[in-house]
Amino acid sequence: MAEAKMTPTSKRVWDDGKKIHVVGTLAVAASPDTYTTGGNALDFVANMIDGAGLGVPLPGISSQPFYALVMGLAYFGQYNPTTKKLKLLAFGGAEVPAAAVPAGVSGDVITFYLVFDKMM
Protein backbone atom coordinates (compact mmCIF):
# COMPACT_ATOMS: atom_id res chain seq x y z
CA MET A 1 0.00 0.00 0.00
CA ALA A 2 1.13 3.53 -0.71
CA GLU A 3 1.53 6.37 1.74
CA ALA A 4 -1.67 8.44 1.78
CA LYS A 5 -1.33 11.63 -0.24
CA MET A 6 -2.21 14.87 1.54
CA THR A 7 -3.52 17.59 -0.76
CA PRO A 8 -3.79 21.21 0.46
CA THR A 9 -6.17 23.63 -1.28
CA SER A 10 -5.92 27.38 -0.65
CA LYS A 11 -9.23 29.16 0.02
CA ARG A 12 -8.03 32.61 1.06
CA VAL A 13 -4.61 34.24 0.73
CA TRP A 14 -3.52 37.67 1.96
CA ASP A 15 -0.37 39.71 2.32
CA ASP A 16 -0.06 41.84 5.47
CA GLY A 17 3.00 43.63 4.10
CA LYS A 18 5.46 41.40 5.97
CA LYS A 19 4.06 37.87 5.77
CA ILE A 20 1.82 35.80 3.48
CA HIS A 21 -1.18 34.16 5.17
CA VAL A 22 -3.06 31.20 3.69
CA VAL A 23 -6.28 29.54 4.87
CA GLY A 24 -7.51 26.37 3.25
CA THR A 25 -8.51 22.74 3.48
CA LEU A 26 -6.53 19.52 3.49
CA ALA A 27 -7.70 16.29 1.85
CA VAL A 28 -6.18 13.00 3.00
CA ALA A 29 -6.41 9.98 0.67
CA ALA A 30 -8.58 7.17 2.01
CA SER A 31 -7.72 3.57 2.84
CA PRO A 32 -6.10 1.37 1.50
CA ASP A 33 -3.46 4.14 1.45
CA THR A 34 -1.56 4.30 4.73
CA TYR A 35 -0.54 6.72 7.42
CA THR A 36 3.14 6.47 8.44
CA THR A 37 4.38 6.86 12.03
CA GLY A 38 6.00 10.28 12.34
CA GLY A 39 3.83 11.81 9.64
CA ASN A 40 3.12 11.69 5.94
CA ALA A 41 4.86 13.81 3.32
CA LEU A 42 3.29 17.22 2.74
CA ASP A 43 4.90 20.03 0.76
CA PHE A 44 2.65 23.07 1.12
CA VAL A 45 4.54 24.99 -1.59
CA ALA A 46 4.81 22.32 -4.31
CA ASN A 47 1.44 20.59 -3.77
CA MET A 48 -0.93 23.50 -3.05
CA ILE A 49 -4.06 23.50 -5.21
CA ASP A 50 -5.10 27.02 -6.13
CA GLY A 51 -8.58 27.42 -4.69
CA ALA A 52 -8.06 31.15 -4.11
CA GLY A 53 -7.49 31.93 -7.81
CA LEU A 54 -4.01 33.44 -7.43
CA GLY A 55 -1.95 30.94 -9.39
CA VAL A 56 0.41 28.25 -8.25
CA PRO A 57 2.91 28.49 -6.72
CA LEU A 58 1.31 31.16 -4.58
CA PRO A 59 2.85 34.58 -5.25
CA GLY A 60 5.55 35.74 -2.83
CA ILE A 61 6.19 32.30 -1.30
CA SER A 62 9.35 30.27 -1.80
CA SER A 63 9.77 28.25 1.42
CA GLN A 64 7.61 26.13 3.72
CA PRO A 65 5.44 27.94 6.30
CA PHE A 66 7.10 28.85 9.58
CA TYR A 67 3.70 28.59 11.29
CA ALA A 68 1.08 25.93 10.54
CA LEU A 69 -2.18 25.35 12.40
CA VAL A 70 -3.85 22.20 11.06
CA MET A 71 -7.13 21.22 12.69
CA GLY A 72 -9.95 18.80 11.94
CA LEU A 73 -13.09 17.81 13.79
CA ALA A 74 -11.37 14.85 15.50
CA TYR A 75 -7.69 15.30 14.64
CA PHE A 76 -4.99 17.96 14.59
CA GLY A 77 -1.65 18.13 12.85
CA GLN A 78 1.93 18.99 13.77
CA TYR A 79 3.85 20.18 10.70
CA ASN A 80 7.64 19.92 10.42
CA PRO A 81 8.83 22.34 7.69
CA THR A 82 12.31 20.77 7.63
CA THR A 83 11.16 17.21 6.89
CA LYS A 84 7.94 18.37 5.15
CA LYS A 85 5.87 15.89 7.14
CA LEU A 86 2.51 16.29 8.84
CA LYS A 87 2.00 14.20 11.96
CA LEU A 88 -1.68 13.55 12.73
CA LEU A 89 -2.87 13.20 16.30
CA ALA A 90 -6.22 12.60 17.96
CA PHE A 91 -7.33 15.33 20.36
CA GLY A 92 -6.31 13.05 23.22
CA GLY A 93 -2.72 13.38 21.99
CA ALA A 94 -2.17 9.90 20.54
CA GLU A 95 -0.68 9.74 17.05
CA VAL A 96 -2.78 8.05 14.37
CA PRO A 97 -1.49 4.45 14.15
CA ALA A 98 0.71 3.37 11.24
CA ALA A 99 -1.87 1.50 9.18
CA ALA A 100 -4.56 2.09 6.60
CA VAL A 101 -5.90 5.64 6.89
CA PRO A 102 -8.90 5.58 9.25
CA ALA A 103 -12.20 6.80 7.80
CA GLY A 104 -12.23 9.38 10.60
CA VAL A 105 -9.14 11.00 9.05
CA SER A 106 -9.96 10.78 5.33
CA GLY A 107 -13.57 11.82 6.04
CA ASP A 108 -12.66 14.64 8.43
CA VAL A 109 -12.99 18.31 7.52
CA ILE A 110 -9.37 19.41 7.98
CA THR A 111 -8.56 23.10 7.72
CA PHE A 112 -5.27 24.94 7.93
CA TYR A 113 -3.90 28.41 8.60
CA LEU A 114 -0.34 28.96 7.37
CA VAL A 115 2.05 31.89 7.69
CA PHE A 116 4.94 32.20 5.24
CA ASP A 117 7.88 34.55 5.13
CA LYS A 118 7.38 36.93 2.22
CA MET A 119 9.97 36.89 -0.54
CA MET A 120 11.83 40.19 -0.65
Q: 3-class DSSP state for residue 115?
A: strand
Quick one: average pLDDT of 1-29?
92
The answer as to whether 1 is a domain residue is no
Tell me how far apart the alpha carbons of residues 22 and 14 are, in angstroms, rounded to a whole number.
Answer: 7
Q: Tell me the backbone φ, ψ of residue 84, rounded to 5 degrees.
A: 55, 50
Using a cut of 0.85, tell me whether the model's pTM lies above it.
yes
14 dihedral zone (left: phi>0; alpha: psi -120 to 50; beta): beta
What is the number of domains present in the chain?
1
70: domain CATH number? 2.60.40
- Is the pLDDT at 55 greater than 90? The verdict is no
Using one digit for the tens of pLDDT, what is the confidence trace for 77-104?
999 999 999 999 999 999 999 999 988 8
